[in-house]
Every structure is written in structure tokens, then in C-alpha cells.
Amino acid sequence: MKKHLLLHSISNKKHTKSLNIKNRQREFHELREKYTSFTFESYNYEEDSCGLHIGFEFNLNDEFRFSPSMFIPKKEYYHWEIVGRSGLDNLIFHLGMIELISYWKLTCSPKVIIRPHRLNNEQIAWWKKLYFNGLGEFLYLNGIQIEQDDLMEITTFGEPLSIHASSIDPTKVMVPIGGGKDSVVTLEVLKASGAKVIPMSVNPRPAINRTIEQAGFRMAFAMEVQRKLDPLMLELNRRGFLNGHTPFSALLAFTSVLLAVGSGIGNIALSNESSANESTVPGTHINHQYSKSFEFEQDFDAYCRTYLHPEVRYFSFLRPVNELQIARLFSGFKAHHSGFRSCNVGSKNDRWCGNCPKCLFTYLILAPFIPEPELVQIFGSNLLKNKELETSFGELTGKSPVKPFECVGTPDEVNSAINQVFSPGQPLPVLLSEYPFNENYRDQFVHLLNGFSQEHAIPSVFLTSLKKALHDQLA
């Protein structure tokens, strides 16, 4: 049975406008007819005294060429020579396969030609699934309907790749850091357990650096990747080519495995919670957080074991818990309260914008555990008094039919937090003036704080430390 991207029917015109859903179906077909092929031409890499330099060459229909790059600064724990030429060929080629998605989406060319290496049918099916589901938000917000099997045809050439299973240390764990509360919790809990932890980041922002240093790690010790986009892609975006969300977490996954193999680290611990599994558009498979979902986690772990390295484990340390539990754990790490940032809008300026769904969600989910004066100090204002956030509030609480296209929790989590902190008999801020309070959410709040999903892939050695942290918070 073919999978199909179903566009959700929304009758609320105000809500549709707030989502900024476009109708680019005709442009989509026109671009595919004009730019029939996208080619992954080659990749290259070289190590010098500064680090490992990586480059890719992409070709859009022989009209536009892109040369994105990555740089991995030298650290004493990298031993690329042990990985060997064949091992690096395999890992870096796969980085190119996921980097390609940001450029291919400009035209969604129906033919994708992979010249450096041959993929088998199982791999081709895996990549087609990732591109379709990882671009679910992109297709939805551009008003594009297409079946998964019709989105692209992948043709590959060259020699097949082989795995070079260099030795890894199963006691070491890499923790990718994003600068928000989730990676703070993962980093601090694993560090407290005595695990051999190494923080990692891509294009680190000030909030990421603060998180790493506040947790007691030196930036000189932490892993860092500098990723550089080809400016031509950004220029074509400005010229009206197709644009939208891509699955960055999938790129992070392949990047993490390269670093893990190069440094002999056996585990990659993400910070994706159970809420990431929920579709952004109810009744569809469209999920802003698809590459943070358990489905992708399982798919990638299996792909990694088969085609990248048989012993590297890829899992989310926070998968069994929900946003309320994470917020409660985070509230105990007070030294991080002033330095963390989750707002995408304000990330370039290292601030909370105070006017987006992510800011409002973070404010609400922390409200049961951090006093209002401190929340106001963190965010710069009481966000519940901001009437401009009314639409976002409706999306977060389930009043609107579609969640925000942000990494946010479920309506149940948000409503449970609200009902735990506020009640209809007290003076209420503007966003709560017409809110339908429900006592049942107080019971739900307790249930969520005591929950623990069995849908996870955490190795037992790390699972114990998470359970202990949760138990200590409830004690």
C-alpha cells in the first residue's frame, strides 16, 4: 500500500493563516519538470594539523552546483587513521546523503543520482522513507500532495561500501547538546552517574557553550563540528525556489556516528522525549519532530548497525519520560536556569524572543516547578500576559486542530501544567481569561509525573541512572 501525504482540512481560516500554509503544488510540478535530476557527484576529505576537512559536490540539473562543507577541529581523542580510508569513505559518503536533502528540496527533482557509491535496494527504500517523512512538514506547509513512491527515484553508481568495524568503548557516551533544557538534563544526569561523557555540538551557539561549561566540561574537550551551507542555496531560497523544514536531527545522527567511530565512543545519547512521537497534524504521519521520533531512532539504529558500525548504539536517554518529567528534573539544575535557550527565533541573538510557541511552551511546562518571579526573570516577562500569543496558546492546549511546528509537548502535558498551577477562582493573566479549566488534568499531572514508557532502547547501564534521577525528584 502506498503512503500518501494527506493535507489536513482546516476550516478555521485564522488558524490556517497563522500556519502560513502555501499552495505551491503547481510550482512543485513545474520545478520538477524543469529540473529533472539532482546528482550527488562526489565527496572529499583531508586531515591536517587543524582537523578533518570534509566537502561535498552536488549538481542540480547541470545548472546549479553546490559545495557544502564540514570541519571537525582536531582533538587528542580522534584517531582517523584507525578508522582507515574505507571506513571514512563509508561514514562521510553517508553524511553527504543526508546533507543532500537541504539542496534537493529546492526543486524536489524526481531523479536523484548517486555517483560515488552503490546502495542496495534496502538502503534505497530506507532513504526514500526518511526523505518523505523527514520532509512531511515541508510538503504540508507548501501545500504539496504526493505519494511516497513518487517523490523520488534514486539511482546509484560506483563501488559498494563496506563497514570497517574499528574498536569502540561501550562505557563511553556522547551527548549532543542543543542549548535547551532537554540536553541539560541528559548531560547532568549521565555525568552524575559516573558515566564517561563527552559533549558534542554542531555550530555551537553561546547557549550550547554555557551548557557544556556549566556542567563542568571544558570546551577544549568537547566535540565540535562546523557545518557550512553553500550560499547559493540561500540565494535560490530568496529567489523563490522551494524552501522549508528539513530533518536536522537526522543529519546530527550521521554526524554523531562519524565522531563516535573516530573517537572510539560506543554510545550516542540523544535527548528526545516520548512527546516527540506525536504527530503535529492529527490523523496524519506529519511530524515536525519526525527525526526525533522513536520510529526514526529505531530505523537509524538498525541502519547504523548494518551499514555504518555494528557496535555503536544510538538511542534517546529521555525517551521513556515526558515533558513534565523533564521540566521537573531541569528545575533541579538551577545553575542552568539563566543560561539555557530553546527559542529558535531568538537563537541568533542568544535570547528568548518571548513571542513564539516555543517560548510559551517552555514557560508553561516549567511553571509548576519554577516560581513565577524566576520564570519572568528567565524569559523577560510573564508570557501569559502577552495577548499576541493567543493563537500559539490555542495550538499548544489543543483548542486549535494543529500543534505548532516546533519541538513542543502534547496538549495533555500543557493542560496538566496549567491546571496544576492555576485555578478559575484566582486573578488570571489574559491568556487564561477564557481557558476551560478541568480538574481531571490535576490527576493527569500526577499520572504523567509517575509515568515511564517501556518504548525505548536505552542500554541498562544508563537506564538505571535515569530511573534514579526520577525517583530522587519524587522523594
In this prediction the pTM is: 0.93
Question: What pLDDT, on the 0 to 100 scale, is given for residue 50?
Answer: 97
Q: In degrees to the nearest 10, what's the CA dihedral of 114, 118, 122, 125?
A: 10
CA distance 81 to 57: 24
Per residue in 164-197, pLDDT (tens digit) is: 788 999 999 999 999 999 999 999 999 999 999 9
Give yes or no for residue 458 having a pLDDT over 80: yes
Retrieve residue 163's grid coordinates. 563497514
Per residue in 291-321, pLDDT (tens digit) is: 889 999 999 999 999 999 999 999 999 999 9
Judge contact between 364 and 418, C-beta under 8 A: yes
Q: In degrees to the nearest 10, what's the CA dihedral of 208, 214, 215, 216?
A: 120
HSE at residue 321, side-chain half, CA atoms within 13 A, is 26
Q: Which of 220, 223, 174, 167 is nearest to 195 (CA)?
A: 174
b/e for 166-185, b at 16 or more Cβ within 10 A? Answer: bebeeebbbbbbbbbbbbbb
Per DSSP, helices labelled H in 220-347 are 231-238, 248-263, 294-303, 323-331
Per residue in 82-110, pLDDT (tens digit) is: 999 999 999 999 999 999 999 999 999 99
Question: What pLDDT, on the 0 to 100 scale, is given for residue 227?
Answer: 98
Between residues 285 and 456, the one the model is more confident about: 456
Q: Which of 117, 176, 108 is nearest to 146 (CA)?
A: 108
- The overall average pLDDT reported for the chain is 92
Residue 340 φ/ψ region, left for φ over 0, alpha for ψ in the -120 to 50 degree band, beta for the rest: beta
Judge contact between 154 and 114, C-beta under 8 A: yes
Distance in angstroms between the alpha carbons of the first and the last residue of the chain: 50
Q: Which residue has the cell 549521565?
A: 190
Please list the residues that pair with 17 across neighbouring strands. none
